[in-house]
Structure 1
Amino acid sequence: MAQVPFTPENLPLGNDRLNQLMFLHELIEANKKVAQYQVLLQNTKLPSHLLLNPVMLNEAVQSTKIEGTQVTLDEVLEVEAHSRKNNKDVQEVLNYYHALRDGMDRLSILPISTRLFKEMHITLMSNNVRGSNRSPGEYRTIQNFIGPEGCTIETATYIPPQPHLVNSYMNNLEIYINNPQDDLDELVRIAIIHAQFETIHPFLDGNGRIGRILIPLYLYSKKVIDYPNFFLSEALERDKHKYYRYLNDTRYKGDWNQWVLFFLEAIILQADKNIRLINEINKLYDHDLDVAQSLINSSGVKKLIDAVFQKPIFTVHTISSTADISEATCRRYLSILEANRIIFSDGKQRFKTYYYYNLLDKLR
């Protein structure tokens, strides 16, 4: 399809590029669903920050899955609990997780900008993962291309802009992010911003992952969401061939309407799943906390259950540290919970690993 590097148009898009009537219904529905999710989070029984760790790790799993990394959430949580040896695939997921957290933290002092992108990219490419030798934290200075494994530039499905144009296009994108000069809804803007980032493809590797991290960071920076915890990778991975095709259609057909429609449908799909998840977790938290408190007469039980929701795969050491309870007390509480099938273990005599399947089954 593509034989020469693509030349994108600068943002904002021309008035003729979007017909908002084509996705007006989906835009209204997407905003309603995101708002509903935010209200649920504000009123959840479980302190919402406790769920952030496993939900963010699941986002990292889904986003790296789009790039071909085959790792499960359980495997990542086992490595985090120090009960499984690390490997490069798991490290890619953990790098994504840390890049996401770094981006959240840096937003308090940095706008969404080249500096932020490059800092997150350094984290993403650290610890000797694939691509770690491909100029971490630097925009590319050589031509790259995208296509099926083993393709050449002649058979690529997409050839991004020439390297000497990357800084100029990224500067335009940065200006648009922070001062858009159009009257579009923020959900439409982030659809355009994500597509433009992927079109510029500023890094030699990791563009898809940084571009997907950009989605919750942007929505948070514009106060659409109260915390940068609305992730789209799972919905996009579910329809990844549509995702790539509609991205390419914005480039070679100028079809932005279909792309925005697809993006809004992904938001609706993910918001519905998030809403179901929060409602189910609220019920689970109430039920299992009540059961645990009926089995163990101690004020420390709530701290333990809160910690288990934060780290649903754990060892005595990792959970006692998270819950701020002594290991001896923790071990006694866990023995009672395991005997009553609230949690399960691998049965090892030493360095036993525990699994809170009630939550894992909902997160997977």
Structure 2
Amino acid sequence: MCLIYNFGLMSTLDAPLHSLLKDKTPGSCPGLQLLPPSSARLENNSVLRQESRAAVALAELRVWLKLHHTPNIFLENMMIREAICSTAIETRTVPFEDVLEALTSQVSRPTATIKNVLQCLLAISHGNSIFAQRRTLELTDIFQIVAQLQGISIPQTASMPYDAQSPNIKLLLNLIGYFNEPAREISPLIKMAVQHYQFESIHPFYLENGRTGRVLNLLFLQQHQLLPLPALSVSEYVLQNKIEYYHLHQQVREQNEWTSWILFFLRGIETVVKKNSQRLLAIENLYQTTTSLCKTAGKSNYTKPLVDVIFKRPYCKIEHLQEFNIAQRKAAGKYLHTLVELGILGLKKVGKENIFVHRALIDLLS
């Protein structure tokens, strides 16, 4: 994951961890039932047909990722995109490039919205680290994610005493059990739509319920091995169809109408997966073109590791080449300036820093 410099993003939580939780009944849907709902309400012919299309699209994306030279480069940048889109649902959107600048430059002064994006990126990254250690979600993990989204730093080892009879805790524990349970009788993609509805209906926290629920969507896909990293921007589809999203959520709550809600998520997954597959193919073509251009120019030192760095860091600095052991400072600067001369990178001044911008890649990622 990209290095995030400390811009005062995080403050320390002085109160107990459970102080983030509402202590009364579920926020948006009192009387909410425990999971699972009846499968008869969830599956019908239209849902199963759309689920098949979404599952095929995801399988094709996984194949593309295996064939791609640098799949994690693509996935990590998609995590940034998800953080931007998820935050935009709550506030407003910011350019992808502005976030890259904040991630790269030590002298950049990000806006409040960009800080929110960076906090979301930290929360997604934390979720990824959970599944690097274990394949299950725990109650404390959700609180950690909520805290990071609020810009609050808490110890990884923090414990959380709770009242198991509290309505919100009872519903959250039930949700976590449903989240972790292998999808045997029902498609995991349908389960994802159900667990998202349930979390947003519980609305358990004073702040950041929306973005927390969308981080859980990513982790659900990763937990059920549908993607290797939490890097599918379902929020991009929600952002483009926000009014319909809230309307369908209300329909489930008031009319128990699951079909339209599930179809919305399945279409969203299919749409963003296909878009990402096209984006991945375009990035692979750019990668091959860049490598060929370096070879054609007779730059024998411009090896795959160097090309990998400028794809991993579209906003690149001399320090990045040192970080990846490509070259020492003087040689690293020479390499990057030569890439500017070849038209592969552009040069941008941020304060006194030189930032080498991979414009063609940024255009594909934006």
Which residue in 2 is equivalent to 1:98?
122
Query: Cα distance, 1:138 vs. partner?
Result: 8.3
Which residue in 1 is equivalent to 2:279?
277
- Residue number among 125, 143, 146 corresponding to 2:150 in the alignment: 125
- Matched ranges for 1:109-188 at <5 A: 109=134, 111-126=136-151, 164-179=166-181, 183-188=185-190
TM-score under structure 1 normalisation? 0.84
Which ranges in structure 2 are unaligned for 5 or more consecutive residues? 1-26
Query: Cα distance, 1:275 vs. partner?
Result: 0.7
Count residues in correspondence. Answer: 334
TM-score under structure 2 normalisation? 0.84
Tell me the alpha carbon deviations over residues 71-102 of structure 1, each in whole angstroms, 9 at most, x when there is no partner.
22111100111152233221211111111111
Query: Cα distance, 1:174 vs. partner?
Result: 1.4
Which residue in 2 is equivalent to 1:264?
266
Aligned residues with identical type, % of pairs = 24
**Which segment drifts farther, 222-231 or 331-340?**
222-231
* 139 and 20 in structure 1: CA distance in 2 versus 1, 3 angstrom threshold: farther
**Which segment drifts farther, 175-184 or 111-120?**
175-184
Which ranges in structure 1 are unaligned for 5 or more consecutive residues? 142-162
- Residue number among 52, 70, 79 corresponding to 2:75 in the alignment: 52
In 1, Cα distance between equivalents of 2:228 and 2:266: 19
Which residue in 1 is equivalent to 2:227?
225
3-state DSSP of counterpart to 1:228: coil
Task: Please say if residues 140 and 202 of structure 1, whose CA atoms lie closer than 8 Å, have aligned partners that are also in contact.
Answer: no
Task: Please say if residues 124 and 230 of structure 2, whose CA atoms lie closer than 8 Å, have aligned partners that are also in contact.
Answer: no
Query: Cα distance, 1:208 vs. partner?
Result: 1.2
In 1, Cα distance between equivalents of 2:129 and 2:351: 39
Task: Please say if residues 196 and 217 of structure 2, whose CA atoms lie closer than 8 Å, have aligned partners that are also in contact.
Answer: yes
Tell me the alpha carbon deviations over residues 211-249 of structure 1, each in whole angstroms, 9 at most, x when there is no partner.
111122112212223333333111111111111111121
3-state DSSP of counterpart to 1:354: strand
Query: Cα distance, 1:203 vs. partner?
Result: 1.2
- Matched ranges for 1:180-199 at <5 A: 183-199=185-201
Q: What CA RMSD, in Å, does the superposition of the two structures yield over aligned residues?
A: 2.7
Task: Please say if residues 139 and 203 of structure 1, whose CA atoms lie closer than 8 Å, have aligned partners that are also in contact.
Answer: no
Query: Cα distance, 1:324 vs. partner?
Result: 3.6
Task: Please say if residues 78 and 314 of structure 1, whose CA atoms lie closer than 8 Å, have aligned partners that are also in contact.
Answer: no
* 5 and 217 in structure 1: CA distance in 2 versus 1, 3 angstrom threshold: closer
Which residue in 1 is equivalent to 2:113?
89
3-state DSSP of counterpart to 1:276: helix
3-state DSSP of counterpart to 1:263: helix
- Residue number among 305, 316, 324 corresponding to 1:303 in the alignment: 305
In 2, Cα distance between equivalents of 1:5 and 1:228: 28
In 2, Cα distance between equivalents of 1:238 and 1:92: 20
In 1, Cα distance between equivalents of 2:196 and 2:178: 12
Task: Report runs of 4+ in structure 1 exceeding 6 Å deviation.
Answer: 136-141
Task: Please say if residues 12 and 181 of structure 1, whose CA atoms lie closer than 8 Å, have aligned partners that are also in contact.
Answer: no
Which residue in 1 is equivalent to 2:4?
none
Tell me the alpha carbon deviations over residues 319-345 of structure 1, each in whole angstroms, 9 at most, x when there is no partner.
442464222112111222112221111
Amino acid at match of 2:123: A
In 2, Cα distance between equivalents of 1:349 and 1:196: 47
